[in-house]
Amino acid sequence: MPRNPLANPLFLPVFLRVLALIVVGLAAVVLSQRRSLQVWRRSTLFLRARTWFVIGPLFVLAVFTGGFLAFLLATFVVVQGCSEFVRIASIDRRYAYLLILGGEVGLLVAALARDFFGFLPFGFFIALTLVPILSGRITDAHRQVADTLVGYVFVALPMAYIVLVKSAEPWGLNFLVIVTVSVALSDIAAYASGSALRGPKLMPRVDPTKTWGGVAGNLVGAAVGVGWLWVAVPAEWSMAAVVVLVLVIAFGSVWADLTGSFIQRAFRTEVRSTMLLGYGGVLSRIDSLLITFPLSYYALILVDKVVR
């Protein structure tokens, strides 16, 4: 059921903080580029900041409103993200339809039937292996099944986790906002510091563009994101949990960068979509969140059990 976001006392503080971050980010891009307006508007940093200027407020509005609007946003991300992965991996149509359907089923189970959430991965695997069995088309089926399964674990299942945590945990909404904003800041700070500091390569055989300077940016961006949204940190979280959250967000963002590069190199392609304002596709904007969100959630659960 949709809610009035203004009825939540957390909405305005978070919304205004997200807007302030975007404005400051745009100002920083302008000051750092020191180029002509025409060149500046084509820079990668500007395109990234412009993208977040639109989707940041829309994201906050959708998650605080909930109901159909939030489900519509999640559905768009699942359909578009899975479609982009299908193009990257050259997955056949029948497997592609199953991947998208599995993603939608995951959203519904996470929201309405949480007791069956643990069955999702195995249930999808059963449905996936039925495709070549029932169709009798087994030529290249091993690759299609494997690639589709990677797409499910990489895109569809993490989106179901996002819905699950938001609906199941009393602090799920706070967690979603904090992690999403911090991941975005971590990515942008990594790009900026990596370009400015450079330094030795992190793993050149996997991603020749990722440097240790960028890793430092990941950590700083994650810390700034959590600190800036401190108003949303639940009172029941311990300081140890917050520190671990910052470290895991930074680690997850680095891991996501390397995983995305590995996938693109493995399939010898990259996302060509310009769905988001002429700069990349949905998958290239949310891949860090898809990996970092479940990782951060289980890290918090683990810290809570250890501290107790």
How large is the average pLDDT for residues 160-165? 94
Q: Which residue has the tokens 């959203």?
A: 107
Q: Which residue has the tokens 């401190």?
A: 230
Give percent of the chain above pLDDT 70.
Answer: 85
Cβ count near 85 (within 10 Å): 26
Task: List pLDDT tens digits, range 45-91.
Answer: 566 666 666 677 788 888 898 888 888 889 999 999 999 999 988 89
Task: List pLDDT tens digits, range 185-206.
Answer: 888 888 778 777 767 888 888 8
pTM for the whole structure: 0.87
Looking at residue 274, what is its pLDDT? Answer: 46
Question: Residue 16 burial by CB count (10 A; 0-12/13-18/19+): exposed, middle or buried?
Answer: exposed
Domain assignments of the chain as residue spans, ordered by start: 67-168
In which band, very low, low, confident or very high, does the pLDDT at 177 lie, cut at 50, 70 and 90? very high
Instruction: Provide the 3-class DSSP secondary structure of residue 198.
Output: coil
In which band, very low, low, confident or very high, does the pLDDT at 277 lie, cut at 50, 70 and 90? very low
Say how far apart CA 145 and CA 96 lie, in whole Å.
10
Q: Is the pLDDT of residue 258 over 80?
A: yes
Looking at residue 33, what is its pLDDT? Answer: 55
Q: Is the pLDDT of residue 270 over 60?
A: no
Q: Is the pLDDT of residue 265 over 90?
A: no
